[in-house]
């Protein structure tokens, strides 16, 4: 884990987050134009979200998830201090001071060197 400072505000999308578990079947759609490593995945219930394409066993159509993924994003403010747990495909899974967690673009934060 590493501490970070938010340098660009991030807003969560208005759609509900989805969770995919290893073995889940989804329908894959288009790739994101800003983040081409992400693909739109739709669950059987009809909800969808952007998930790293590398998480699936194929590039299009009906695919099976190879691992777990949660599309929840973390809303942040400039200057806010957060804890980064890990990074994936240019996004960081982070936690704020209130214990809320989710994804934030790595380009929206600045890692803080803490004394050892």
Question: Are 78 and 54 within one domain?
Answer: no
Same domain, 80 and 66: no
57 and 80 in one domain?
A: no
Report pLDDT digits (tens) over 53-78: 999 999 999 999 999 999 999 999 99
Q: What phi-psi label fits residue 32: left (phi over 0), alpha (psi between -120 and 50 degrees) or beta?
A: beta
Residue numbers in the chain where pLDDT is lower than 70: 114-116
| Residue-range definition of the domain harbouring residue 59 | 19-70
Domain count for the chain: 2
Residues 56 and 83 both lie in one domain: no
CA dist., res. 55 & res. 96, Å (int): 26
Residues 31 and 51 in one domain: yes
Predicted TM-score of the model (pTM): 0.91
Does one domain contain both 7 and 42?
no
């Amino acid at each position: 884990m590493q501490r970070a400072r938010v340098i660009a505000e991030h807003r969560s999308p208005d759609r509900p987050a989805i969770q995919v578990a290893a073995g889940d079947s989804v329908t894959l759609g288009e790739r994101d134009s800003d983040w081409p490593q992400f693909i739109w995945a739709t669950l059987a219930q009809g909800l969808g979200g952007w998930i790293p394409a590398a998480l699936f066993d194929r590039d299009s159509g009906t695919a099976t998830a190879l691992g777990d993924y949660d599309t929840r994003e973390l809303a942040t403010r400039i200057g806010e201090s957060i804890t980064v747990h890990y990074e994936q495909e240019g996004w960081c899974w982070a936690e704020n001071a209130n214990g809320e967690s989710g994804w934030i673009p790595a380009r929206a934060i600045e890692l803080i060197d803490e004394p050892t």
